[in-house]
Structure 1
Amino acid sequence: MAWASWLAWLACAAAGAAGMLFPRESESREVVALDGIWRFALGGREEVDVGFRQRWYLRELPKWVNGHLAGNHSGGHLPFDLDVTALLEYDAPSLLTVAVNNTLSPHTIPQGFTAYFNDTDMYPPGYSVNDYTFDFFNYAGIHRSVVLHTVPDVFINDITINTKIIGETGVVQFDVSYTISENEVDDEVSCKITLLEESNKAVGEVSLCEGDIMIDKAKFWWPVHMSNSPGHLYLFEVQLNHGQKRKDVYRLPVGIRTIYWNETTVLLNNKPMYMYGFGKHEDSILRGKGLDHTLLVRDYSLIEWIGANSYRTSHYPYAEEALNLADRQGILIIAESPAVNLDNFDSVLLEKHKSVMAEMVNRDKNHPCVIMWSISNEARTQRKEAGPYYKSIVEYVKSLDKKRPVGFVTNRNMYQDKAAPFMDVIGVNRYFSWYSDTGDLELVSRQVEAEYTKWHNVCKKPIFMSEYGADTISGFHQLPSFVWTEDYQVDLLHEHFKAFDNLRKKGFFIGEMVWNFADFATKQSVTRAQGNKKGIFTRERQPKHAAYLLKTRYHHLANEQLKTMTE
Structure 2
Amino acid sequence: MWHLIFLLIGSAMAGESGPESPTDFFDATIKIEAPLPYEDAFPIPLPGLLYPRESESREVRSLDGLWDFAVSEGDALRGYREGWYALDLSKASEVMKMPVPSSYNDITTSRNLRDHVGAVWYQRTFFVPSFWRDQRVFVRFGSVNYLAQVWINGVLVTNHEMGHLPFEGELSSYLTFGAENRITVAVDNTLLQTSVPQGKIVEMVTDNGTAHMQTYTFDFFNYAGIHRSVLLYTTPRVYVEDISVRTSLIGEMGIVKYIIQPNGLREGEIPICMVSLYDAEQNLAINEPVEGLSGTLKVPFVKLWWPRGMDSKPGYLYTLEVKLWVENDTKVDIYRLPIGIRTLAWTNTSLLLNDRPVYMRGFGKHEDSAIRGRGFDLVTSVRDHELLQWVGANAYRTSHYPYSDEVLDMADRLGFLIIDECPSVDTENFSPSLLSRHKDSLSELIRRDKNRPSVIMWSLANEPRTQLAEADEYFKQIAQHTKAIDPTRPVTIALARAVQEDKAGQFLDVISFNRYNAWYSNPGRIDMINDRVYEEAEAWHKKYNKPVLISEYGADTMPGLHELPEYVWSEEYQKELLSKHFEAFDRLRHEGYFIGEFIWNFADFRTAQTYTRVGGNRKGIFTRDRQPKMAAHHVRKRYHALAVELDGVQIPGEVEDYYISSYYSSHSEL
TM-score (norm 2): 0.79
- Measured after TM superposition, the shift of residue 380 of structure 1 is 0.6
Q: How does 1:1-400 map to 2 (within 5 A)?
A: 17-44=46-73, 46-47=74-75, 61-117=148-204, 122-182=206-266, 185-187=268-270, 189-204=271-286, 205-244=289-328, 245-400=330-485
2:119–2:187 Cα contact (<8 Å) kept:
no
Amino acid at match of 2:572: D
Equivalents in 2 of 1:201, 1:56: separation in Å? 51
Equivalents in 2 of 1:440, 1:561: separation in Å? 31
Secondary structure in 1 matching 2:174? coil
Which sits farther off after the overlay, 30-39 or 474-483?
Answer: 30-39
Equivalents in 1 of 2:311, 2:180: separation in Å? 51
Equivalents in 1 of 2:486, 2:386: separation in Å? 31
Q: For each residue in 1:339-369, what CA deviation from the matched residue of structure 2 results, as whole angstroms up to 9, or x when unmatched?
A: 0011211111111111110000010000000
Max Rg structure: 2
Amino acid at match of 2:62: A
- Measured after TM superposition, the shift of residue 377 of structure 1 is 0.2
Amino acid at match of 2:223: Y
- Measured after TM superposition, the shift of residue 540 of structure 1 is 0.3
Secondary structure in 2 matching 1:39? strand
TM-score (norm 1): 0.93
Secondary structure in 2 matching 1:375? strand
Distance change >3 Å, CA 241–CA 50, structure 1 → 2 = closer
- Measured after TM superposition, the shift of residue 563 of structure 1 is 1.7
Equivalents in 2 of 1:435, 1:126: separation in Å? 34
- Measured after TM superposition, the shift of residue 249 of structure 1 is 0.2
Equivalents in 1 of 2:560, 2:210: separation in Å? 44
Secondary structure in 1 matching 2:71? coil
Secondary structure in 1 matching 2:68? coil
Secondary structure in 2 matching 1:501? helix
- Measured after TM superposition, the shift of residue 561 of structure 1 is 2.4
Amino acid at match of 2:46: A
2:147–2:187 Cα contact (<8 Å) kept:
no
Amino acid at match of 1:294: V
Q: How does 1:465-476 map to 2 (within 5 A)?
A: 465-476=550-561
1:18–1:359 Cα contact (<8 Å) kept:
no
1:515–1:535 Cα contact (<8 Å) kept:
yes
- Measured after TM superposition, the shift of residue 490 of structure 1 is 0.5
Q: For each residue in 1:74-97, what CA deviation from the matched residue of structure 2 results, as whole angstroms up to 9, or x when unmatched?
A: 111111110111212223221110
Q: For each residue in 1:200-243, what CA deviation from the matched residue of structure 2 results, as whole angstroms up to 9, or x when unmatched?
A: 11112211210100111100000010111110010000011211
Secondary structure in 1 matching 2:606? coil
Equivalents in 2 of 1:477, 1:50: separation in Å? 52
1:169–1:217 Cα contact (<8 Å) kept:
yes
Match of 1:516 among 593, 601, 620: 601
1:239–1:246 Cα contact (<8 Å) kept:
no
Gaps of 5+ in 1: 1-15
**For residue 18 of structure 2, what is the aligned residue in structure 1?**
none
Equivalents in 2 of 1:210, 1:376: separation in Å? 33
Q: For each residue in 1:475-512, what CA deviation from the matched residue of structure 2 results, as whole angstroms up to 9, or x when unmatched?
A: 00000000001000000011110000000000110000
Q: For each residue in 1:27-73, what CA deviation from the matched residue of structure 2 results, as whole angstroms up to 9, or x when unmatched?
A: 100000111122210122x337989xx9989x963211111211212
Equivalents in 2 of 1:291, 1:358: separation in Å? 23
**For residue 528 of structure 2, what is the aligned residue in structure 1?**
443
Equivalents in 2 of 1:374, 1:331: separation in Å? 16
Aligned CA-pair RMSD: 1.9
Secondary structure in 1 matching 2:181? coil
Amino acid at match of 1:88: L
1:498 maps onto 2:598 in alignment: no
Equivalents in 2 of 1:272, 1:123: separation in Å? 60
Amino acid at match of 2:232: L
Equivalents in 2 of 1:363, 1:114: separation in Å? 31
The alignment of Structure 1 onto Structure 2 pairs a total of residues equal to 541
Equivalents in 2 of 1:459, 1:328: separation in Å? 35
Q: For each residue in 1:127-172, what CA deviation from the matched residue of structure 2 results, as whole angstroms up to 9, or x when unmatched?
A: 2211110000001100100001001100000000000011111100
Equivalents in 2 of 1:325, 1:250: separation in Å? 20
Equivalents in 1 of 2:229, 2:429: separation in Å? 33
- Measured after TM superposition, the shift of residue 123 of structure 1 is 4.9
1:180–1:186 Cα contact (<8 Å) kept:
no
Q: Bigger relative contact order, structure 1 or 2, given CA contacts below 8 A and separation 6+?
A: 1
Amino acid at match of 2:314: P
Equivalents in 2 of 1:124, 1:378: separation in Å? 37
Equivalents in 2 of 1:349, 1:561: separation in Å? 42
Equivalents in 2 of 1:489, 1:313: separation in Å? 23
2:398–2:420 Cα contact (<8 Å) kept:
yes
Equivalents in 2 of 1:116, 1:468: separation in Å? 35
Which sits farther off after the overlay, 18-27 or 464-473?
Answer: 18-27
